[in-house]
C-alpha cells in the first residue's frame, strides 16, 4: 500500500501542498481531482520521486518509500502531464532508451516495444521522429514507456489528453485491468467523467488541501448529489460560475 502522510510542499513562500494524507491500495484506482493550481501535479511529482516534499512522508508497505529511491523508482511507472519527449528520437528509439535505462533484457524489450506499438496503433509510424507525432501519439508513447517494465505502482497525470475516443476507451479499460492485476494506480485528471468511470476512490484537492476523500459513490451519497461533477462543484465551490461566464463573454466582445 502507498500511503501519503501529512505531505507539505513549499516553493519559497508559496504553499503548493498542505498537510495532505491519503492511501492508494493495490487493486484500486485512486483519483486525484482538483482545479488548476490545487496541488495535484506537485503531489504526483512527489509520489514519483521527482520532487522532494518539505515535510511529511510517502510510505510504501509501511516503510519510507524514498529511503531506497532507486528501488522505489524501479517499481513505479509515470505518465507526466506534459508530453515532453526527445523529439529527435523515433517512438521505438525512445521506448528502447527507457527500457534500457530500466535495464530490461534486450531481446524481450524489442518484442515488447513492437507489441506495444502495434496494439497502440502507431507501428506504421515507427520510423518517424517524435517531432512529427500528434499529441495523441506522443501520449501513447508515454503510456507505453510508463508500463514497459510492468511496474507495481502506476502514476498517471492526465493520461488521456489528446487521445481519440477509441484509444481513450481502450486505455480506460487498460487502467482498470492493471488495477485488477493488483497494481496501485494513482490517476490525476481534470476530466470528471473519466475519473468517475475509472477510479474507485477520489481525493479532491483545493488550494493544496484535501477537501474530499472517499469513493465516488460515498461522496455522492454523503453530499446527496447526483454526479461527481456536482460533488466537485460543491466541494471546490466554484463561486459565481454564471457571473464569471458572463464576464468572459463580455471580455470577448469588448
User: Where does this chain bind another protein (CB under 8 A)?
Assistant: 11-13, 45, 48-52, 69-70, 73, 76, 78, 80-82, 84-90, 93-94, 96-104, 106, 127-129, 132, 145
In the complex, the smallest distance separating the C-beta of residue 218 from another protein, rounded to whole angstroms, is 33
Return phi, psi of residue 71, to 5°: -65, -40
If 0-12 CB within 10 Å is exposed, 13-18 middle and 19+ buried, where does residue 70 land? exposed
In the complex, the smallest distance separating the C-beta of residue 14 from another protein, rounded to whole angstroms, is 9
Q: Which is nearer to another protein, 16 or 194 (CB)?
A: 16
In the complex, the smallest distance separating the C-beta of residue 245 from another protein, rounded to whole angstroms, is 25
CB 231 within 8 A of CB 225: yes
Cα separation of 118 and 40, whole Å?
32
In the complex, the smallest distance separating the C-beta of residue 88 from another protein, rounded to whole angstroms, is 4
The 8-class DSSP code of residue 190 comes to S
In the complex, the smallest distance separating the C-beta of residue 220 from another protein, rounded to whole angstroms, is 34
Place of cell 470577448: 252
The grid cell for 205 is: 484537492
Q: Which is nearer to another protein, 86 or 245 (CB)?
A: 86
In the complex, the smallest distance separating the C-beta of residue 221 from another protein, rounded to whole angstroms, is 37
Q: Which is nearer to another protein, 45 or 183 (CB)?
A: 45
Q: Which is nearer to another protein, 28 or 81 (CB)?
A: 81
Cα separation of 56 and 105, whole Å?
37
Which residue in 195, 168, 231, 170 sits closest to 40, CA to CA? 195
Q: Which is nearer to another protein, 47 or 204 (CB)?
A: 47
Q: Which is nearer to another protein, 44 or 199 (CB)?
A: 44
Q: How many CA atoms lie less than 13 Å away from 174 in the CB half-sphere?
A: 19
Amino acid at each position: 500500500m502507498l500511503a501519503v502522510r501529512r505531505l507539505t510542499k513549499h516553493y519559497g513562500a508559496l504553499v503548493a501542498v498542505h498537510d495532505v494524507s491519503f492511501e492508494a491500495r493495490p487493486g484500486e484506482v485512486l483519483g486525484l481531482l482538483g482545479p488548476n493550481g490545487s496541488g495535484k501535479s506537485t503531489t504526483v511529482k512527489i509520489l514519483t520521486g521527482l520532487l522532494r516534499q518539505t515535510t511529511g512522508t510517502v510510505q510504501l508497505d509501511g516503510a519510507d518509500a524514498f529511503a531506497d529511491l532507486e528501488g522505489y523508482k524501479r517499481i513505479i511507472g509515470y505518465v507526466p502531464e506534459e508530453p515532453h519527449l526527445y523529439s529527435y528520437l523515433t517512438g521505438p528509439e525512445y521506448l528502447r532508451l527507457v527500457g534500457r535505462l530500466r535495464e530490461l533484457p534486450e531481446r524481450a524489450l524489442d518484442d515488447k516495444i513492437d507489441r506495444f506499438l502495434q496494439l497502440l496503433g502507431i507501428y506504421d509510424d515507427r520510423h518517424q521522429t517524435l517531432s512529427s507525432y500528434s499529441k495523441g501519439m506522443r501520449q501513447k508513447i508515454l503510456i507505453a514507456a510508463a508500463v514497459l517494465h510492468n511496474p507495481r505502482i502506476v502514476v498517471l497525470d492526465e493520461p488521456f489528453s489528446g487521445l481519440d475516443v477509441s484509444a481513450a476507451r481502450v486505455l480506460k479499460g487498460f487502467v482498470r485491468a492493471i488495477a485488477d492485476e493488483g497494481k496501485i494506480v494513482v490517476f490525476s485528471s481534470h476530466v470528471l467523467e473519466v475519473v468517475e468511470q475509472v477510479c474507485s476512490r477520489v481525493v479532491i484537492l483545493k488550494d493544496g488541501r484535501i477537501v474530499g476523500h472517499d469513493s465516488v459513490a460515498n461522496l455522492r451519497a454523503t453530499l446527496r448529489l447526483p454526479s461527481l461533477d456536482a460533488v466537485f462543484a460543491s466541494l471546490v465551490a466554484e463561486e459565481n460560475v454564471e457571473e464569471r461566464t458572463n464576464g468572459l463573454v463580455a471580455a470577448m466582445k469588448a
